[in-house]
Chain A
Amino acid sequence: MLEIKYIKKFPEKTMDISFRSERAMTVFFGRSGAGKSVTLRSIAGLVVPDSGTIKVGDKVYFDSKSRINLTPQERRTGYVFQSYALFPHLTVAENLLLAMKTVPKRETRYEVRELLEEVGIPELHDRLPGDLSGGEQQRVALARALARNPQVLLLDEPFSAVDVPSRVRLRTLLKRVQDHRGIPTILVTHQAHEAFTLGELIVVMDHGKVEQVGPPEEIFYRPKTLTTARLVGVKNIFPGVISEISQDTVYIKQNGKVWEAASLSGLHLSPDQRVSWCIRPEAVMLLREDRPLSLKRENRLSGVIEEVEQRGPVWELFVVSKEGMDLKIELPVHAAQHMGVTEGKEVLVSLKKEAIHIIPEIPDSGF
């Protein structure tokens, strides 16, 4: 269990962070400068907050009220730095040995071997960090972080400096290590897909504040704020006014058109309230020309494809509707090819009622 609540003023920003996590894998998600790393450093004791409480499990690392502030040495955190921070003048084994002061001398050699086996690099025992690839250094950094048998594992952008195939292997390794050891882990990332695939609980941060805390599905499909919506790549965000609320549908007026959204409990909406409504680009449906009228489709819209961007497995389309609405649509490549997607083509789209999400905030101009 993690309980983090702290305030720290810096000349350029103020950190005001508060969240709890009971989950094994917590992800800090946000842009650079949002305060993700500072929070990680506060947990490790490398940054001392002005006030607040930092608890890991039943251990109090920091509590300004009772004047508790354990040194980094007294806290047992396994920190993997973005740069790995391996000691270049020491071999892989020596890097690990430094963290094993509490292990009896005669067991350390065995322990080092065990750890290197665990992260899949037993053969690198006597090598210097400078001679290793990025992926190998990453594994050494992970093994070293585990060497102290930490109470929490802190990973700062661990996959940012390695190539894609190693990244996939490292994720698998991390998952295995975590399942095996059951250590609560915090991972920092600015990549939405990484947060989505790895996180059991996501803490969205922006400008030193927590924007939203929740499981990935909630963060990605039901963002509570516009900032979160933009950070997780919702892309299609429009202003609107609530016109009517029924049992299962919320009607939103916008430029004389009425949109239907599935009614969601927990949102306190009232008629005439100004809101934002949004839909993820992959949730927009492109209707087949040959049978658009045979099916009852909600929230229909016709427009012209202005631009097609081919991004490997996904194509991104920019559609401008007859009413002048800009829509971004993401389609898997096979679907896009099957539909004969080209620039200039007229298309009919449907915004599924269930995919429309309402945020009780009025859109501002910029991001």
Chain B
Amino acid sequence: MLGEVSLFPFWLSLKVATIATLLVILVGLPLAYFLARKRFAGSEIIVASTMLPIVLPPTVLGYYLLVLLGRNTIFGKFYEGIAGSPLVFTWQGAVVASAVASSPYIVRTAMAAIQSVPREMEDAARTLGLSELQIALRITLPLAWKGILAGVVLAYAKAIGEFGATLMIAGNIPGETQTLPIAIYDAVQAGKSDLANLLSISLAVLAISAVLLVGGLGKSRL
């Protein structure tokens, strides 16, 4: 019976989570650096709003993403014009859902890690003639990398298990947008408990390894 297990949801989940995490690093890390070091009018509102994806129920988050990115919206049309295919109900839509849902884990942990680097280190680097970019790359990020990496691992674990928002925006199309968590839901709905068991264990193993990895990072010296 298990011989007919499709590996597609595994690969799709890995692909979606990897791309989503990279996306969040690319956008979220500079944002975290900026928010950690700059104070301006309204900065506290932006900082607070980075928590929204955790605070909102996943289905609500998914619904708003759908409202924002659907085929008849500005974003949706813009994306379709460039990519040639819509964003909703595709695996790319799942990437967006995972990225948004997991973004707080990177933004918040990276912010805390960057804030824990003494300002005096950066000031010292300034008096030594290092440019702001050099300071970020050679001083602040190397000193904050442990916290940032912990955030990345947590974000990856969240992205790989994302369910609610993904279902809303990408749907449940086997072989196209059916990720691992959605496949589990599908298996349970269809009464395939053996399959549900197998898929659940593999997802649990992935999540637990992520937690262990974060714990190990905390103990390593540098």
Contact = CB atoms under 8 A, between A and B. Distances in A.
Interface string A75-109: 11111010101111100000000110110000000
Interface residues of A, number: 27
Contacts of B127: 44-46, 72, 75, 77-79, 145
Contacts, number: 57
B124 A89 contact: no
Contacts of A77: 127
The binding surface of chain A is classed by DSSP as loop
Given A72-B123, A81-B123, A89-B142, A147 B128 contact: yes
Given A73-B129, A98-B130, A148-B129, A85 B142 contact: no
A87 B129 contact: no
Contact of B128 (A41, A46, A71, A98): A98
B121 A89 contact: no
B118 A83 contact: yes
Interface in B67-126: 118, 120-121, 123-126
Contact of A89 (B125, B126, B128, B222): B222
A76 B127 CA distance: 7
A81 B129 contact: no
A85 B123 contact: yes
B29 to A, nearest CB: 18
Contact of B126 (A72, A101, A145): A72
B201 to A, nearest CB: 39
B130 A73 contact: yes
A72 B125 CA distance: 9
Contacts of A75: 127
Interface in B117-170: 118, 120-121, 123-131, 138-139, 142-143
A85 B124 contact: yes
Contacts of B139: 87
A137 to B, nearest CB: 13
A300 to B, nearest CB: 55
Nearest to B130: A98
B126 A83 contact: no
A79 B222 CA distance: 27
Nearest to A88: B143
A99 B128 CA distance: 5
A144 interface: yes
Interface of A: 41, 44-46, 71-73, 75-79, 81, 83, 85-89, 98-99, 101-102, 144-145, 147-148
